[in-house]
A and B are shown apart, each in its own frame.
Chain A
Amino acid sequence: MDWTVVPFLAADAVQSGTIYALLALSLVLVFAVTRVILVPLGELLVFAPLTYVFFLPGEVSGLELHGQIPGTAWLSAGLLLVWAVLDRADLRRAVGLFLAAVLVVGLAWVGARGVPLWLGWILAVLVVLPIGPASYRLFFQPAKNASVLTYLIIAVGLHFAYQGLGLVFFGPEQYRLPSILSGQTNLGTVPVNNQAFLVYGFAILTMLGLFLFFTRSLNGKALRACAVNRFGARLLGISPAQAGYVAFGIATLIVAVSGMLLAPLISPAYFQGFLFGLKGFVAGILGGLISYPLAVVGALVVGAFEQWAGYVSSPFKDALVFALLLPVLLWRSLRSHEIGEEE
């Protein structure tokens, strides 16, 4: 091995590892609170920057979109409308949801008419954000008390639907997006994109934020309580459904912002989300889908392993990363003794 490449590989490993860490954290959060293994997280990651493309001035995106409203806005609004219909018994909530749906389309319309870059950036996140909690309401809540397995199959179905919709909304192309910070900084011999520092900053902020939320805020503690003992939480008036919306909301926010920050570095396309998501899973499974710190460690391991695999055998890079699951699961299996009871 040529050791001079190691620092370069390490820099890339940290960059992708950070993204996997953000995905893994969101995954663990959603799983802990709702027992849903949220396969479509990767789609939510690319939806935000792809939506942003529609809010960019033509001279930046290089596209002629003629003020077209992005499909994700219609999806987001549509899900909210169905949610409003489902919850029509609670009139105030239904009206709120209806207004939110109108607002989403309104924001997208404003964005598509041409807004400053920063505002478009925020609008893109806001437009995509409701998709997460609304998906929980529409697709997971009705299968209440289903097994983890049923939830998983539903999640896989949803991944397919959203990936296909991504193709409908954005086509197969990759898009170039403007960086917030341009240029590079040399760390020793290794040039690092300044944009990457934003990703790291966001990751650190997210971890710190989640940590404070879970240890300082009673709302955060209620979420943890739901994960630790659902029934106990219900007895205290903590509704698991509400906890589910919050968990899906936070997870969607984390991955949407991650996607926005990452986009200038990868030139996103609709199909890229899944690979990111899947590697986030590998990281999450390293932590047993329950431990946040282990998930972050797992993510960095996956990032490093991926760079090494890419160096050794570029075409099989991803195959090797997925193969990494096998020894991990074997290790977990050897440590488990109980008769395979569900949950």
Chain B
Amino acid sequence: MSRVPWTPVVIVALVLLAPLLLSPFPFYLTLANFIAFGALVALGLYLLTGLAGMTSFGQAAFMGLAAYTTALLTTKAGWSPWLTLPAGVLVAALGAVVLGGITVRLKGHYLPLSTIAWGMALYIVMGSWTDVTGGFTGLTNLPAVSVFGLKLIDPKAFFYLSAFFVLVGAWAAWNLTGSRVGRALRASRGDAVAAASFGVNPATLKLQVFVLSAVYAGVAGWLYAHFLRFVNPSPFSLDASIKYLIAAVAGGVGSIPGVILGSGLVVTLEEWLKDLLPALFGRSGNYEIIAYGLILVLILILAPKGLWPFIERYLPKGKAKTPEGSGLPARLVAGEPTEVMLEVSDLTKRFGGLVAVNKISFQLRRGEILGLIGPNGAGKSTCFNLITSVYAPSEGSVKLKGQTITGKAPYDVHKLGLARTFQHPHLFTEMTVLENTTLGTYARTKAGIITSMFGLSRAEENAANLEAYRALERVGLAHIAQQKADGLAIGQLRLLEIARALASNPEVLLLDEPAAGLRAGEKRQFAALIRKLVAEGVTVLLVDHDMDLVMGLVDRVVVMHYGEKLAEGTPTEVQRNPKVVEAYLGEVVA
């Protein structure tokens, strides 16, 4: 990059200056530290909620795990705080592995519910296990953190340490957002089925992110413990966890500056309310939770995206560049033109007593366009979902290039060279057209969560973007690559679905009703595109009921009716088949 990246420079400069400006007000310096701790926890929530669509009511408990770990190891075992940082974070992460491991596969509300119980349980343990934790009086005399022999005791010095971690955390979160993993996370939040069909294993990814959010909280807990040099249970209670969630939601859990802003607001508000409310009610107590509760409820109802979007409007937007360089290594496409790519034998699916698909068999050969047609309700979609392993068949098998794929997860099937489109476009409207397409390269790229966070996957990312850009060029959408996907016309959405599939360099392309909603002219262009792709070596299975498109495009047709194969042959043969005419127009029943 030749341009000076101004935004980070300005941010770092502000952070360096802030303590100097605040130094006449020691109270605000302390507050600034608390805001930083909150920001770290909230950044974890950004990853968890904003990116991955999960929620936790137990982040303060993770802070507590790290804080108590460091407190015990430094005061009782005499470890250096720099050694207890990884130790504390590790303990927090282990807690998340256990909790997340058993809930990520369940429906979305089990994780947060179990974090409530977990937060309560841990709080009770911290308060009651007096021998180890000191109970509610806590543990005192934690050593100060020293950097190059300099002890960070006063809030100003400590703020530089806190801010360092916040900046690194924000930078890593930012890297992750734009990376392969971030894309996959955003995709599986929006649509787990679509993400899985491009090689994403949502459960694994969710677990990783949950652990990562606990790591952020753990670092915050470590900082907290060594800032106050004292730990007791109350900052790690369920109330505190909710406070962090409110911070993230209020600022805008979908953006990095949003959650940091939210932490600033909530920590400041807390100080203010702590003075105001007891005066108002005439006695002391934990009254600020009323305000927290109401803020949380009202924000979710009135401005679910938080405050940041209102500010973001006035900020200049960065310009995205068109990717350059070389793409990803392509899959070796080789084989005889008559090779059987996909073999479906005796495929049967029963739902309860209903037989949706009954003993369907057919073969798809290399370089062919096969149409699977039939009137509505004939079982085409079920058949499609069986081939892509979204459903498991009751009987029968599907082989891809001789390898049985029945029983494999959709993300594993995809890796073998099968890509699909969706009948109702499953695209991610908050992402750009290019990002949507780049998701297709997921199975061809490798960068993991850590490489992505530290920006070590740039080269691969560029290659993936270029590959996606080329796929967009192939379908004729390159001119809108940087546009958000939500304003597109139906024809463009259909093409984008195909581009995303192409970006995965598939050998077999499965199209689920790709022409629905297209006008006659668009259908013609669409057919031409499919023919071009086939000429380039892709094999296509087209599932549709649209006779207009199918009859003019495919080499062979399999007609389904009542879950069974009614006919198979060339389009002309099938159109002349009286049984097919009956199926489409309806039988005359005496």
Residue A209 at the chain B interface, CB threshold 8 Å = no
In the complex, chain B residues whose CB is within 8 Å of the CB of A281: 113, 116-117
Q: Let me know if B106 and A164 touch, CB within 8 A.
A: no
Residue B105 at the chain A interface, CB threshold 8 Å = yes
Q: Let me know if A158 and B300 touch, CB within 8 A.
A: no
Q: Let me know if B124 and A316 touch, CB within 8 A.
A: yes
List A residues 157-208 near B (Cβ within 8 Å): 157-165, 167-168, 171-172
B422 CB → nearest A CB, Å: 14
- Pick from B106, B122, B124, B295: contact of A340, CB below 8 A: B106
> Which of B108, B203, B245 has most A Cβ within 10 Å?
B108
In the complex, chain B residues whose CB is within 8 Å of the CB of A150: 300, 304
A339 CA to B391 CA, complexed, in Å: 11
Q: Let me know if B108 and A318 touch, CB within 8 A.
A: no
Nearest B residue to A171 by beta-carbon distance?
B283
In the complex, chain A residues whose CB is within 8 Å of the CB of B102: 326, 329-330, 333
In the complex, chain A residues whose CB is within 8 Å of the CB of B113: 37, 152, 281, 285, 325
A315 CB → nearest B CB, Å: 4
Given A152-B55, A168-B290, A318-B121, do A160 and B206 touch, yes or no (CB 8 Å)? no
Residue A139 at the chain B interface, CB threshold 8 Å = yes
In the complex, chain B residues whose CB is within 8 Å of the CB of A157: 242, 246, 292-297, 300
Residue B478 at the chain A interface, CB threshold 8 Å = no
B103 CB → nearest A CB, Å: 6
In the complex, chain B residues whose CB is within 8 Å of the CB of A322: 117-118, 120-121
A131 CA to B464 CA, complexed, in Å: 55
In the complex, chain B residues whose CB is within 8 Å of the CB of A340: 104-108, 192, 202-203, 206
In the complex, chain B residues whose CB is within 8 Å of the CB of A339: 192-193, 196, 202-203, 409-410
Given A315-B128, A329-B103, do A149 and B55 touch, yes or no (CB 8 Å)? yes
Residue B109 at the chain A interface, CB threshold 8 Å = yes
Q: Let me know if A164 and B293 touch, CB within 8 A.
A: yes
Residue A154 at the chain B interface, CB threshold 8 Å = yes
Given A139-B301, A340-B206, A342-B108, do A323 and B121 touch, yes or no (CB 8 Å)? yes
Residue B286 at the chain A interface, CB threshold 8 Å = yes
Residue A282 at the chain B interface, CB threshold 8 Å = yes
> Which of B289, B297, B300 has most A Cβ within 10 Å?
B297
Give the B interface residue count (CB, 8 A).
59
A223 CA to B206 CA, complexed, in Å: 35
Residue A234 at the chain B interface, CB threshold 8 Å = no
In the complex, chain B residues whose CB is within 8 Å of the CB of A343: 107
A266 CA to B11 CA, complexed, in Å: 55
Nearest A residue to B110 by beta-carbon distance?
A329
Q: Let me know if B289 and A163 touch, CB within 8 A.
A: yes
Residue B249 at the chain A interface, CB threshold 8 Å = yes
Q: Let me know if A319 and B128 touch, CB within 8 A.
A: yes
Nearest A residue to B304 by beta-carbon distance?
A150
Q: Let me know if A153 and B249 touch, CB within 8 A.
A: yes
> Which of A152, A320, A322 has most B Cβ within 10 Å?
A322
Given A168-B281, A285-B110, A319-B124, do A154 and B297 touch, yes or no (CB 8 Å)? yes
Residue B112 at the chain A interface, CB threshold 8 Å = yes
A295 CA to B423 CA, complexed, in Å: 40
In the complex, chain B residues whose CB is within 8 Å of the CB of A142: 301
Given A319-B128, A336-B105, A340-B105, do A161 and B112 touch, yes or no (CB 8 Å)? no
Q: Let me know if A164 and B109 touch, CB within 8 A.
A: no
Q: Chain A: interface secondary structure?
A: helix
Q: Let me know if B301 and A153 touch, CB within 8 A.
A: no
A168 CA to B291 CA, complexed, in Å: 12
List A residues 44-68 near B (Cβ within 8 Å): none
Given A160-B296, A326-B98, do A316 and B287 touch, yes or no (CB 8 Å)? no
> Which of A146, A318, A320 has most B Cβ within 10 Å?
A318
In the complex, chain B residues whose CB is within 8 Å of the CB of A326: 98-99, 102, 114
Residue A103 at the chain B interface, CB threshold 8 Å = no
Residue B132 at the chain A interface, CB threshold 8 Å = no
> Which of A157, A164, A318, A332 has most B Cβ within 10 Å?
A157
Q: Let me know if B108 and A160 touch, CB within 8 A.
A: no
A143 CA to B300 CA, complexed, in Å: 8
- Pick from A153, A164, A329: contact of B289, CB below 8 A: A164
Q: Chain B: interface secondary structure?
A: helix
B153 CB → nearest A CB, Å: 35
Convert A300-343 into 0s and 1s, putting 1 for each residue whose CB lies closer than 8 angstroms to a CB of B.
Answer: 00000000000000011011101101100110110010011111
A70 CB → nearest B CB, Å: 15
A202 CB → nearest B CB, Å: 27
Q: Let me know if A333 and B103 touch, CB within 8 A.
A: yes
In the complex, chain B residues whose CB is within 8 Å of the CB of A164: 286-291, 293
Given A161-B289, A162-B293, do A332 and B124 touch, yes or no (CB 8 Å)? no
Residue B57 at the chain A interface, CB threshold 8 Å = yes
B411 CB → nearest A CB, Å: 9
In the complex, chain A residues whose CB is within 8 Å of the CB of B110: 285, 329, 332
List B residues 153-195 near A (Cβ within 8 Å): 192-193
Nearest A residue to B54 by beta-carbon distance?
A149
Nearest A residue to B125 by beta-carbon distance?
A319
Residue B325 at the chain A interface, CB threshold 8 Å = no
Q: Let me know if B297 and A158 touch, CB within 8 A.
A: yes
Residue A127 at the chain B interface, CB threshold 8 Å = no
B284 CB → nearest A CB, Å: 10
List B residues 276-323 near A (Cβ within 8 Å): 281, 283, 285-297, 300-301, 304
Q: Let me know if B57 and A156 touch, CB within 8 A.
A: yes
A322 CA to B122 CA, complexed, in Å: 9
In the complex, chain B residues whose CB is within 8 Å of the CB of A161: 289-290, 292-294, 297
A163 CA to B99 CA, complexed, in Å: 27
Residue A217 at the chain B interface, CB threshold 8 Å = no
Residue A147 at the chain B interface, CB threshold 8 Å = yes
- Pick from B121, B192, B202: contact of A319, CB below 8 A: B121
In the complex, chain B residues whose CB is within 8 Å of the CB of A143: 300-301, 304
Residue A148 at the chain B interface, CB threshold 8 Å = yes
A325 CA to B55 CA, complexed, in Å: 18
Residue A278 at the chain B interface, CB threshold 8 Å = yes
Nearest A residue to B391 by beta-carbon distance?
A338
In the complex, chain B residues whose CB is within 8 Å of the CB of A168: 281, 285, 287, 290
- Pick from B109, B121, B291: contact of A37, CB below 8 A: B109
A144 CB → nearest B CB, Å: 10
User: Can you show 10 pairs from A to B with CB atoms below 8 A apart?
Assistant: A153-B245, A157-B300, A167-B286, A172-B285, A315-B124, A315-B129, A320-B121, A340-B107, A340-B203, A341-B193
| A-binding residues in B (CB < 8 A) | 53-55, 57, 98-99, 102-110, 112-114, 116-118, 120-122, 124-125, 128-129, 192-193, 196, 202-203, 206, 239, 242, 245-246, 249, 281, 283, 285-297, 300-301, 304, 409-410
| B-binding residues in A (CB < 8 A) | 37, 39, 139, 142-143, 146-150, 152-154, 156-165, 167-168, 171-172, 278, 281-282, 285, 315-316, 318-320, 322-323, 325-326, 329-330, 332-333, 336, 339-343
Known: A278-B120, A323-B117. 20 other contacts (CB 8 A): A37-B109, A149-B112, A150-B300, A153-B300, A156-B245, A157-B296, A162-B293, A164-B291, A167-B285, A167-B287, A168-B290, A281-B116, A318-B121, A322-B117, A326-B114, A329-B110, A332-B106, A339-B193, A340-B104, A340-B202
